[in-house]
Chains A and B, each alone.
Chain A
């Protein structure tokens, strides 16, 4: 049962990270990011007590909320980007995400030799987020996508790193880093609307 739940979490992670890659609507993007952190929580909680693992969820949701609220407050309608992606673009991104997923799946046996305390699902979940996050970073030029890509990569790393180290300070610092990245993302989204200082 636990194994099934973990597999379900990995599926959620893949769908969310790939979904972020495919959608252009910022509501969907931040919503999927928030959902992604539930998967992160469930995989991290395998190695850590739930009360500590929940820090990842709280920090992630705060980051998603910061980005969401920033978009809500952007002064003009430019924030509402086109909802439609052309079919070739969707196909290309979806196919690339699938390829990354398969590559990461094939890497799991090797990675398991490095992450000795990790389960198969934790390793796969972490690698998937790392891969899809890097793909997002490689395909994007917009600040919001870069920020979400960075958050995705860090989430993947956090799943894997949780199997190695359970330091309170490290957990706290990584949580602050997640929120900090979201705030910087919010600033970058708003920077061009702010008044020049000199």
Chain B
């Protein structure tokens, strides 16, 4: 028995079995939730590399698996990452409404989580890029449910992810040369540029962001939220491991500045998109693009920024989850997500609209919501860096809040609609309220999230 078997092969096997019971939607939802929760609990509690003596046999859960000479390692230090990923999966499965969301998110989501862990666990780490290509294939299928034409955004997502993989593989090969020819600055610069290009494709950094608004505008909001949340988190974790583990990143290489330039640009784009958009789906893209920027800025601070990054992950998941859930319910009552179509939604469906507003404003960083204390602290940590980075940081936040005010105006506008269509079951409306309240409470008590994030960072940095 080994940890990769338990947290990679087992979920893959289970997701394969789930494909055969796709018509049992409720059973599938709760089975997926229980299994991902069990895997998270197991990841938190299972002792690794210790021998257990039972009456007839002894059991030892090793932390590695060898496949064709390559190692897959999920050791003690990776425990918080495994817990985090499966808890994230559990959260998305709990808020999934089988009435409004294609149920294939359960098997494909579970398989996706296993693939993220595979990419994270493989040694040498650059092989992980290949697993992200597989993950992209799974998510392309997930984003194109039966009965619908694949959208251009999904096809672009596929192309960008495959290109990103190719660049990372090539850069990793070049990097292996640096060990042999240490001091070759030209080779080092080349490999860094190619690697940056690869990660830009994977993380959708400018100019490769176009697929995000395309997907959020045309695809199912819940599926989009799930894919954006888990895929980008997976790539960020992979990049963190790449940065911390690849020995060829010497101390004399400045990757802080490129990270900050990319992060500030993303925030600027997110803010601008929020100001000009008139579509709820594109507003979701605006906050997601800004979150990529904030995560990059947090990572650029290295060890002091990692707690911010992990705290952002928690808040992003909650806020994006409630935003996606609310949008997928609102979809039943409106023709499209354009402001004109969604006008007056808050008067007809106040709880669902509150989910959209709270989720959005949390990610925008409005005071009193869970995002604000983290963004404030991150902004304070960036004060020593150039003014234009701080300026774009401020502009991004301002743009998002202005965009949020426009959403508020659109949703509360009197559209003259009088008939009331009841959408969303009481259970999911209660869930929206519960997540809303938790996002407000976390705004008042950010130390809870920061404590968890600090703990994850301490164990993560131990690797």
Contact = CB atoms under 8 A, between A and B. Distances in A.
B232 interface: no
A23 interface: no
A196 B102 CA distance: 8
Given A150-B159, A153-B162, A196 B68 contact: no
B381 interface: no
A194 B158 contact: no
Nearest to B149: A192
B198 to A, nearest CB: 12
B166 A180 contact: no
Given A196-B148, A197-B146, 19 more contacts: A114-B174, A154-B162, A154-B166, A167-B70, A168-B69, A169-B67, A174-B130, A177-B130, A177-B133, A180-B137, A183-B137, A184-B141, A187-B141, A191-B144, A194-B147, A197-B102, A198-B98, A198-B100, A198-B101
A191 B149 contact: yes
Contacts of B460: none
Task: Name the residue among A165, A181, A194, A198 with the largest chain B CB count within 10 angstroms.
Answer: A198
A135 to B, nearest CB: 13
A197 B103 contact: yes
B44 interface: no
Interface string A158-198: 00010011011110111011001101100110011011111
A168 B68 contact: yes
B11 to A, nearest CB: 18
Nearest to A177: B133
A191 B102 CA distance: 13
Nearest to A134: B163
Contacts of B158: 146, 150, 184
B169 interface: yes
B155 A169 contact: no
Contacts of A169: 67-70, 127
Nearest to B174: A114
Given A177-B133, A184-B137, A197-B145, A137 B169 contact: no
Nearest to A141: B152
Nearest to A116: B177
A150 B148 contact: no
Q: Which 9 pairs, one residue from A and one from B, show the smallest C-beta to C-beta distance?
A: A196-B147, A194-B146, A169-B68, A188-B150, A192-B149, A146-B155, A184-B137, A157-B166, A173-B130
A143 B147 contact: no
A119 B130 CA distance: 26
B195 to A, nearest CB: 15
Contacts of A194: 146-147
Nearest to A146: B155
B127 A170 contact: yes
Nearest to B166: A157
Residue of A170, A184, A196 with highest tally of chain B CB at under 10 A: A184
B173 interface: yes
Given A143-B155, A169-B70, A172-B68, A192 B147 contact: yes
B134 interface: yes
13 contacts: A150-B158, A157-B166, A167-B70, A169-B69, A176-B134, A181-B162, A184-B140, A184-B141, A188-B150, A191-B149, A194-B146, A197-B146, A198-B102
Contacts of A157: 166, 169-170
A28 B166 CA distance: 27
A131 B104 CA distance: 36
Contact of B148 (A153, A165, A183, A191): A191
B162 A195 contact: no
B110 to A, nearest CB: 17
A141 B154 CA distance: 11
Contact of B163 (A153, A183, A187): A153
B134 A161 contact: no
Interface in B99-115: 99-104
B170 A161 contact: yes
A127 B152 CA distance: 26
Contacts of B214: none
Nearest to B169: A161
A177 B161 CA distance: 12
A184 B142 CA distance: 11
B197 interface: no
A191 B150 contact: yes
Contacts of B25: 198
Contacts of B67: 169
Given A197-B103, A197-B104, A198-B99, A191 B146 contact: yes
Given A169-B68, A169-B69, A180-B134, A188 B140 contact: yes
Interface in B376-419: none
A175 to B, nearest CB: 11
B10 interface: no
A52 B76 CA distance: 37
Interface string B59-92: 0000000011110000000000000000000000
A137 B173 contact: no
A172 B70 CA distance: 13
